[in-house]
């Protein structure tokens, strides 16, 4: 199918090139190899297979359906399997744009947004590059070597590429107590579990439900006392040691709880950081939830962390 479609790909490339003339662009409009700067400061030199110029604005509510349609349209025309993660990693400015939709970042700029889903994330005239085969292969290799590390008593989630730290984000973790959760139908240990596993499932349009009473809610109270609609940001579900403990990795609308044992077991992140985590952790990504009291601070000094779960018997 893909080999037979090369002729049609050639026609689409020519069409895309013609449409770019005179259009505002986030990438080079040249047919020569371009430099794509990834958000992790690694530089790729390669040409895009094509560039798609948007003909209309796309809101966050319609963002994922649009990307799905774009991936589906181009996947059969390329000599490799195109995915949403490859597409977006080849266009890192899009991750930067999503990061800036964080409620608190917007409020710092004096902008109140009640409904994040109505925000325009892709504008008419924006250009998305379809990665060429070489760039796609390089990006996929990096995605395959990326993993998530969470040190529970450090309240830190790290995105790692092999042995290198790409990002380190503050998080909140589960409380050191047991509680009856209606969602589970039983008393649950709220501590974030320890062990290794992988990202099992991703929910791109999650429903916000109180696990204590199973009541859904569509609005959230912010740290500044304002009320907004719940944002649409993907949630990641890991399995740990072959089990599904229900400890999701997801955004919190109350970042004042970061750095605390506060949740019902989930790992909570800032909205901005959750977008970065999502695009570095597709299904299958390895995860490690550890409990290590020895850590290195920002100055490079060794520190002893508080034993929040009282697991150190000494």
User: d(Cα 278, Cα 99) in Å, to the nearest integer?
Assistant: 11
* pLDDT (mean) for 283-288: 98
Q: What is the pLDDT of residues 29-68, one digit of tens each?
A: 333 333 333 333 333 344 899 999 999 999 999 999 999 9
Q: What is the pLDDT of residue 314?
A: 57
* Largest Cα span, the chain: 70
- CB of 233 closer than 8 Å to CB of 103: no
Query: Cα separations (Å) of 45 from 89, 90, 162, 167, 216?
Result: 14, 11, 22, 23, 47
Q: In whole angstroms, how large is the CA radius of gyration of the chain?
A: 21
- Residues of the chain above pLDDT 90, percent: 78
Q: What is the pLDDT of residue 131?
A: 96
User: d(Cα 305, Cα 277) in Å, to the nearest integer?
Assistant: 24
* pLDDT (mean) for 6-12: 37
Q: Compute φ and ψ for 69, nearest 5 degrees.
A: -70, -35
User: d(Cα 226, Cα 47) in Å, to the nearest integer?
Assistant: 46
First-to-final CA distance of the chain:
63
Instruction: Please give the CATH superfamily to which domain 146-304 belongs.
Output: L,D-transpeptidase catalytic domain-like (2.40.440.10)
Residue bearing tokens 């040409």: 47
How many CB atoms sit inside 10 A of residue 182's CB? Answer: 13
Q: What is the pLDDT of residues 139-194, one digit of tens each?
A: 999 999 999 999 999 999 999 999 999 999 999 999 999 999 888 888 999 999 99
The residues, ordered by sequence, that sit 6+ positions from 150 with a Cβ below 8 Å of its Cβ are 156, 157, 158, 171, 173, 192, 267, 287, 288, 289, 290
**Does the CA dihedral 300-100-71-205 come out positive or negative?**
positive
User: d(Cα 279, Cα 292) in Å, to the nearest integer?
Assistant: 27
Of the candidates 286, 292, 284, 288, the one whose C-alpha atom is nearest the C-alpha of residue 308 is: 292
- CB of 136 closer than 8 Å to CB of 144: no
Q: What is the pLDDT of residue 34?
A: 33
The dihedral over CA atoms of 128, 148, 277, 309, expressed in degrees to the nearest 10, equals 180
- The CATH 2.40.440.10 portion of the chain extends over 146-304
218-225 contacts, C-beta under 8 A, 24 or more apart = 220/253, 220/254, 221/253, 221/254, 222/103, 222/253, 222/254, 223/104, 223/254, 223/255, 223/256, 224/107
């Amino acid at each position: 199918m893909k080999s037979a479609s090369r002729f049609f790909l050639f026609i689409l490339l020519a069409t895309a090139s013609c449409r770019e003339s005179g259009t505002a662009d986030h990438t080079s409009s040249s047919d020569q190899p371009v430099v794509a700067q990834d958000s992790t400061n690694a530089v790729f030199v390669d040409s895009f297979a094509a560039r798609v110029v948007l003909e209309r604005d796309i809101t966050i509510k319609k963002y994922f359906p649009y990307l799905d349609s774009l991936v589906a349209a181009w996947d059969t025309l390329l000599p490799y399997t195109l995915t949403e993660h490859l597409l977006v990693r080849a266009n890192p400015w899009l991750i930067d744009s999503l990061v800036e939709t964080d409620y608190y970042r917007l409020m710092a700029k004096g902008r109140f947004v009640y409904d994040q889903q109505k925000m325009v994330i892709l504008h008419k005239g924006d250009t998305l590059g379809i990665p060429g085969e070489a760039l796609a292969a390089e990006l996929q290799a990096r995605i395959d070597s990326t993993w998530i590390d969470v040190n529970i008593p450090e309240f830190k989630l790290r995105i790692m590429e092999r042995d290198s730290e790409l990002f380190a984000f503050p998080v909140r973790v589960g409380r050191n107590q047991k509680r009856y959760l209606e969602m589970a139908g039983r008393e649950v240990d709220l501590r974030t579990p320890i062990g290794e596993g992988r990202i099992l499932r991703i929910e791109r349009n999650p429903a916000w439900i109180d696990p204590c009473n199973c009541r859904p809610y569509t609005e959230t109270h912010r740290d500044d006392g304002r009320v907004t609609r719940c944002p649409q940001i993907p949630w990641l579900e890991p399995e740990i040691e072959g089990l599904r403990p229900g400890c999701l990795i997801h955004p919190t609308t109350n970042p004042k709880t970061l750095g605390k044992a506060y949740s019902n077991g989930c790992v909570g992140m800032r909205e901005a950081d959750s977008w970065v985590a999502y695009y570095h952790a597709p299904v299958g990504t390895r995860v490690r939830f550890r409990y290590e009291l020895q850590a290195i601070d920002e100055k490079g000094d060794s520190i002893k962390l508080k034993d929040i779960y009282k697991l150190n018997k000494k």
